[in-house]
Amino acid sequence: MRRAPAPPPGALASDLISGFVAELADWRGKTLARVRALITDADPDVVEEWKWNIPVWSHDGILCTGEVYKAAVKLTFPKGASLKDPAGLFNSSLEGNVRRAIDIRQDDAIDAAALKALIRAAAALNAAGKARPAGTKAPAKKAGKRPASSRVER
């Protein structure tokens, strides 16, 4: 994965992301710039952050990260498994229970409407998680009987 060097103290995340995009003088830079524009268009309240030496877009929590590899620009959605993806954009990290990713390769077309819908859904999911009053937890799962195969016989 292509990572930028550690930022100088006090650097603005948006400036770091702009510099990172400009440094990528090939299709990956253009792709990351296009994705960035779609994300900020989909959610005008998105916060651009610079974490782990990669771009991160947040709104009440992380929406997605932007990673750059030799053969792909990857958008990783940390809560992607909880999002509906009717357009089938998620094409990577499909085996996990939590995250999902979109690998965008050099000649791939970006479905702008579908990506914006995913960004809005991720923001709504994060906002729903923030809706609980401070100091409260999500409802606990009810304890049920263990299956017979896991019971210990004495």
DSSP-assigned letters across all residues of 67-119: EE-SS-EEEEETTGGGS--TT----BS-SSSS-EEEEE-TTPPP-HHHHHHHH
In a domain, 145, yes or no: no
Tokens standing for residue 126: 């994060």
Tens place of pLDDT per residue across the chain (154 aa): 555 556 565 678 888 899 999 999 899 999 999 999 999 999 999 999 999 899 999 999 999 999 999 999 999 999 999 999 999 999 998 888 899 999 999 999 999 999 999 999 999 999 998 755 555 555 555 555 544 444 444 3
Q: Please tell me the pTM assigned to this model.
A: 0.78
Closest Cα to residue 55, out of 66, 39, 42, 64?
Answer: 66
In this structure, is residue 110 part of a structural domain? yes
Contact 115, 104 (CB under 8 A): no
Contact 51, 61 (CB under 8 A): no
DSSP three-state, residue 22: helix
Q: Which domain holds residue 29?
A: 13-135
In a domain, 154, yes or no: no
pLDDT of residue 148: 45
CATH number of the domain that residue 66 is part of: 3.90.1150.200
Q: How many domains does the chain have?
A: 1
In a domain, residue 87? The reply is yes
